[in-house]
Amino acid sequence: MTVEQQFSTVRTDISGHLIQDLVMKFGTPTYVYDAQTVRDRIEQLRQFDVIRYAQKANSNIGVLDLVRKNGVVVDAVSSGEVFRAVSAGFDYDGEPDPIVYTADIFDREALDLVVEKGIHVNVGSPDMIEQYGQRVPGGEITLRINPGFGHGHSAKTNTGGESSKHGIWHEQLEDCLALAAKFDVSVTGLHMHIGSGTDFEHLSQVCDAMLQTALRVGDTIKMISAGGGLPTPYRDSDVGLDVDRYYQLWNRTRKQLEAGFGHAVSLEIEPGRFLVAESGFLLTEIRAIKKMGRNLFYLVDAGFNNLARPILYGAYHPMSIAFKGEPTHETQDVIVGGPLCESGDIFTQQEGGFVCSRELPVATVGDYLVIECAGAYGYVMSSNYNSKPFSAEVLIDGDKTHLIRKRQSPADLIRGEVIPD
Ligand code: LLP
């Protein structure tokens, strides 16, 4: 496959399942994930000792079950995510830790859960060390370090540097070690996730920062985590990640530490997007096609309530048309929007809200528009804005399709709401 052909704008099926059949069975808007793509991405990362899935990218328990069955453990950033992991069959105990709690704060519920279940914590602030130490003296923690620089596909996904709220500031390391020692808590792991969409130049800087930081902590370190942030192709011009090169850089750092410490150091990776982005498709139906001056709009039945990445980051997603009727061979420039009563409800926009057009096949109302590479940070960031129900989610596995989440009903929308007496 050439780079130019990576994403086609016409599509008939997803992994052999006709779009028309999927729509007939599950309706629109619906997220569809292909299990084999997730498995393939997992295989690409097998060189790492531990693959820890950042479930924030897609935390449907059907997806969690899939990664678990393929030897992957999970990261949880809330007590809700811990609950999901357990519901998907992950244990609290095991080697490596099946569930790790990573955050910059403990809300009270999460702290209670961590203490009660003995969950390993990846600590992102000195206050967390204090709060953990008081409850679990003699425990073990990982420190998430902000090395003072970062990187991201958008300013909103850069998680390093002075403007980021994430992790422990590198200059505070010694203070944090002293704080941990006060409670007899040992620092057994180090973690650096410095942003989504990292590149290699940057990565060697991160590896170096990890090495220096680990040497400052000393030989209590048994594990280092490269965090997530592995890029995934969204455009024809994007080339896939050279996973081997990525691994080699981290492995060299790990080996240097093993030589220094004289014991084994486990190397973890914590991808979210990389495992699930390409597996996911948001199926929508074109419900109106209208002209506004020189612009032509395809209005579909999904909006930023279903996929918020374009409005939040100006994120680009490949799109294709699945014809319900006769296919056409011509294309035209269109703007793709959703049903919400808000002008920003546009899928073809750049960061800053600039609306742009996309060359797509000439379609008619009733054809389907598929938003691709939508498996990461898609469903999980949806909302009920405009009282739109959450979509359905479907997992394709070979010749089977599994409804892994039912579409919300109107009753679901008002569940828990009360009219006062
Ligand atoms: N580990 C930690 C501590 C993280 O904060 C994140 C992502 C990951 C791992 C996984 O990163 P990934 O491999 O998926 O890049 N909503 C944004 C992405 C936010 C990422 C937040 N943290 C988006 O749609 O692009």
pTM: 0.96
- Between CA 190 and CA 241 the distance in angstroms is 24
Residues 6+ apart with CB under 8 A from 311: 304, 344, 345, 346, 349, 353
- DSSP SS3 for 363: coil
CA-closest candidate to residue 372, choices 391, 408, 347: 347
| pLDDT of 292 | 97
- Between CA 56 and CA 353 the distance in angstroms is 25
CA angle 21, 27, 32 (to 5 degrees): 75
In angstroms, what is the span from residue 196 Cα to ligand 1's centroid?
6
| pLDDT of 3 | 44
Cβ atoms < 10 Å from Cβ of 160: 28
341 is catalytic: yes
419's tokens: 């009219």
Give tens-digit pLDDT for 120-136. Answer: 999 999 999 999 999 99
- Between CA 144 and CA 138 the distance in angstroms is 19
Share of the chain above pLDDT 70, in %: 96
Strand ranges (E), 192-323? 223-225, 266-269, 280-292, 295-300, 319-322
In angstroms, what is the span from residue 87 Cα to ligand 1's centroid?
22
The residue type at 327: P
The two beta strands, 349-350 and 354-355, are antiparallel
Dihedral angle over CA of 339, 342, 343, 345, nearest 10: -50
Residues of the chain under the 50 pLDDT cut: 1-3
- DSSP SS3 for 84: helix
Q: To test ligand 1's pocket by mutation, which of 196, 203, 269, 382 has the most ligand atoms within 8 angstroms of CB?
A: 196
In angstroms, what is the span from residue 25 Cα to ligand 1's centroid?
32
The two beta strands, 266-269 and 186-191, are unpaired
Of all protein residues, the one whose alpha carbon is nearest to atom 19 of ligand 1 is 157
For ligand 1, say whether the CB of 196 is within 6 Å of any of its atoms: yes
Q: Are residues 348 and 299 in contact, defined by beta-carbon separation less than 8 angstroms? A: no
| pLDDT of 1 | 39
- DSSP SS3 for 72: coil
For ligand 1, say whether the CB of 273 is within 6 Å of any of its atoms: yes
For ligand 1, say whether the CB of 51 is within 6 Å of any of its atoms: no
Report the atom number in ligand 1 closest to the C-alpha of 274: 13
| pLDDT of 193 | 86
| pLDDT of 160 | 73
